[in-house]
Amino acid sequence: MNSFERVVAALTHKIPDKVPVFLFFTVHGARELGISLREYFSKAEYVADAQLKLVKKFGHDCVYPFFYAAKEAQAFGCSVVFYEDGPPNSGDPVIASYEDIDDLDVPRPDSPVLEEPLKAIELVAEKVKGEIPIISAVIAPFSLPVMLMGFTKWIELLLFGDKNTRNKLLRKTKKFCVAWANAQFKAGADALGYFDPLATADIITRDEFLRYDFRLTKDTIRKLKGPVAYAGAGGSFNSIIDLLPETGAAGIVVSSKDDLTDVKKKVGDRLVVMGNLNNIEMARWTVADARKAVRECLGKGAQDGGFILSDQHGEIPYYVGDDVLAAIVETVEKYGRYE
């Protein structure tokens, strides 16, 4: 079974030869090539090259030519701040006041800012399509405003602001989300993480999810031309987990705060379960810590298939050592086989 077949088996709730492992390398690519993050994300060739090198080095089951979440905000006109050791972040918001929402232009997927990310997907697709799943990501329409206007301003608008203004913004972010996701599928992505951290139980209540996000997400996912996994960037979906299969998502990325057995029991075979290694602690793990954490995840999540081992967030921090990453894959190789 190659990686692609293994992951398809997990997604369709058939039993693969072993548990698939996703190592979501974003910033690690730069480390692998020995260049700065700013340089790394300046060219699709760097990202594609690093992804192919990393998958060869560690033998995990995906390539992840995703750039960074703030790229979407950048396409809308936000500035981006680069760091030496972490993912670029959105800087000055493009929406400074609520009036700006009226004039906010929805970027097209072929806009210059998004050219390199699409090209990176195409480049890896040329090499590994059909052999290794090509995974990328999109920010949910409900969560994208955080980057466009700042967290506080978006929460204010959501809870206390003008309903028409809020809906106008969500229509724009939804339009972009659908177009951007489908452009990535067209370029060669096999599946996307649908990042909706604002929907997690840490941030909003179940009632608020039902009021503001549920229908929006269902309608968005219905328009996408490929499968997505609902991702909370480390946040917990425990308050809405029963609703997630109804969104049309194919999978869920589980927080390290949640119990994989419990999640699997709740979603059954309606969602493939991914997770839930603690990527924050991972930065100071030893090889023994990594082995222990992987075995715990396998013990709780692997039974009866429908499971992919990954971190809880969709991002391996810059400082995680190669020995730890190798130990993750080796431990799955040793203990994650299905008979």
Residue 257 binds to another protein (criterion: CB under 8 A): yes
CA distance 294 to 117: 31
**Residues of span 113-152 touching another protein by CB under 8 A:** 150-152
- Closest contact distance (angstroms) between CB of 47 and another protein is 19
Query: What does the per-residue mask of binding to another protein show for 310-329, with x meaning CB under 8 A?
Result: -------xx-----------
Given 26, 74, 136, 256, the residue binding another protein (CB under 8 A): 256
Out of 108, 284, 334, 337, name the contact with another protein by CB under 8 A: 284
Show Cβ contacts of residue 92 under 8 Å, excluding neighbours closer than 6 positions: 78, 79
Q: Is 202 an interacting residue with respect to another protein (CB under 8 A)?
A: yes
By CB under 8 A, is residue 155 in contact with another protein? yes
Q: Exposure of 35 by Cβ count < 10 A (0-12 exposed, 13-18 middle, 19+ buried)? A: middle
CA distance 147 to 149: 6
Interacting residue with another protein among 1, 96, 159, 288 (CB under 8 A):
159
Shortest spacing between CB 1 and another protein, in angstroms = 33
Among 5, 17, 100, 208, binds another protein (CB under 8 A): 208
- Residue 1 or 159 with smaller CB distance to another protein: 159
- Please tell me the distance from the alpha carbon of residue 22 to that of residue 328, in angstroms, as a whole number: 10
- Six token digits for residue 287: 């090889």
- Tokens standing for residue 106: 């929805």
User: Using CB under 8 A, which of 137, 204, 231, 241 touches another protein?
Assistant: 204
Q: How far is the CB of 263 from another protein (least distance, A)?
A: 15
91 binds another protein per the rule CB under 8 A: yes
Q: Contact 64/50 with Cβ under 8 angstroms?
A: no
Piece of the chain touching another protein by CB under 8 A; list 5-13, 85-93, 264-272, 296-304: 85-93
Site for another protein in 264-283 (CB under 8 A): 278, 280-281, 283
**Block residue for tokens 């400082």:** 319
161 contacts another protein (rule: CB under 8 A): no
Does a cis peptide bond (omega within 30 degrees of 0) precede residue 278?
no
Distance CA 56, CA 281 (A): 25
Contact between 89 and another protein per CB under 8 A = yes
Pairing of strands 89-90, 80-81: antiparallel
The span of 61-69, 112-120, 154-162, 300-308 binding another protein (CB under 8 A) equals 154-162
Question: In Å, what is the CA distance from 317 to each residue of 80, 94, 232, 256, 285?
Answer: 19, 27, 16, 15, 12
Nearer to another protein, 87 or 109 (CB): 87
Stretch that binds another protein, among 135-143, 174-182, 201-209, 269-277 (CB under 8 A): 201-209
**Residue 290: CB partners within 8 Å, gap ≥ 6?**
282, 324, 325, 327, 328, 331
Handedness of CA 273, 279, 281, 286 (dihedral sign): positive
Cα angle at 268 between 262 and 272, to 5 degrees?
95
Q: Which amino acid, 315?
A: E
In the set 182, 236, 247, 310, which binds another protein (CB under 8 A)? 236
Q: Which is nearer to another protein, 10 or 293 (CB)?
A: 293
Structural tokens at position 88: 């670029």
Report which of 230, 260, 3, 37 is spatially closest to residue 131, judged by C-alpha positions.
Answer: 3
Binding residues (CB under 8 A) for another protein: these are 81, 83, 85-87, 89-91, 150-152, 155, 158-160, 201-205, 207-208, 234, 236, 238-239, 256-257, 278, 280-281, 283-284, 317-318
